Amino acid sequence: MEQQRVLTSYATIDFSGNRIEGLIPESIGLLKALIALNLSNNVFTGHIPLSLSNLGKLESLDLSSNQLSGTIPNGLGSLSFLAYINVSHNHLKGEIPQGTQITGQPKSSFEGNAGLCGLPLQDTCFGTNVPPTQQPPEEEEEEQVLNWKGVAIGYGPGVLLGLAIAHLVATYKPEWLVKIIGPNKRRSHSSKTWNPLVFGVRKCVRHDQLKDEMQQGTQITWQTNLPLNFKVYIKMVEFLDAAEEEVKVAKKKRRK
């Protein structure tokens, strides 16, 4: 029988549970007034008709438990009145269309389709989200012990090396400083001692430059080579009155 005219005034169509076979006709998209369509629990095959995206008033769509294949039309995601959709237990694949009306559906509406991915399913289209495996408590404890052992092994030699360098810095006195100040007079100023500290990079200064910088209260540094080829840069700070006194004594000795 030849179909002469397609009625467009139907609001609800329910053919569920009838074991209907074949394809869903594209002409179903001409039912502009359709609000609810239920074709579940049949044996429909083929693709979901693209024309379903033209049903602007559609509020409920149930195509579950069929043998439909292919992808879900992207146009279904733009149906603003679509409150319910169920395409579970088919052979659909691809990404679920994004849209507030579809992503807000429960994941049960899309289950049973091995090829589907995207929200609201847990499987993303870029790989399955697998929760990270947790290590057993015993392995975690062993790993923590190994980490602490590594820290201890590296910390010990570092402390010893630092103490050795500090001792060398504290006990080393350059010859030019002893000649300028003198060993006996340097001991008499016990309350105004030279305090060596590790500092930046600077070359040794001449005697006249030393005098000028002491008078200006400048921090004085020198550079020398220690045993084991360590280069240590020392900073010495002297009170201005003591420095001036020592320089005067040194000049008097030279004049004599």
Same domain? 118 vs 18? yes
Decide if pLDDT at 196 tops 50.
no
Strand blocks (E) in the chain: 12-14, 21-23, 36-38, 43-46, 60-62, 67-70, 84-86, 91-95, 115-117, 123-124, 127-128, 197-198, 220-226, 230-236
Strand blocks (E) in 118-249: 123-124, 127-128, 197-198, 220-226, 230-236
Q: 256 or 24: whose pLDDT is higher?
A: 24
Q: 47 or 125: whose pLDDT is higher?
A: 47
- Is residue 6 assigned to a domain? no
Report the candidate in 122, 78, 74, 124 with the shortest Cα–Cα distance to residue 100.
Answer: 78
How many domains does the chain contain in total?
A: 2
182: domain range? 168-255
We report the CATH number of the domain holding residue 105 as 3.80.10.10
pLDDT for position 103: 78
Query: pTM for the full model?
Result: 0.48
- Is residue 161 assigned to a domain? no
Same domain? 118 vs 16? yes
Average pLDDT across the chain, whole number: 70
The whole-angstrom separation of Cα 90 and Cα 210 is 93
Q: Are the C-beta atoms of 198 and 233 separated by less than 8 Å?
A: yes
Same domain? 114 vs 176? no
pLDDT for position 252: 74
- Is residue 159 assigned to a domain? no
Residue whose structure tokens are 């329910």 = 14
Q: 61 or 101: whose pLDDT is higher?
A: 61
pLDDT in tens, 140-168: 555 565 555 555 555 555 655 666 665 55
- Is residue 251 assigned to a domain? yes
Same domain? 176 vs 104? no
- Is residue 107 assigned to a domain? yes
- Is residue 114 assigned to a domain? yes
Confidence band for 73, pLDDT divided at 50, 70 and 90: very high
Q: 124 or 147: whose pLDDT is higher?
A: 124
Averaged pLDDT, 111-138? 69
Same domain? 35 vs 118? yes
Same domain? 91 vs 182? no
pLDDT for position 14: 94
Percent of the chain scored above 70 by pLDDT?
49
Same domain? 24 vs 113? yes
Same domain? 32 vs 109? yes
- Is residue 32 assigned to a domain? yes
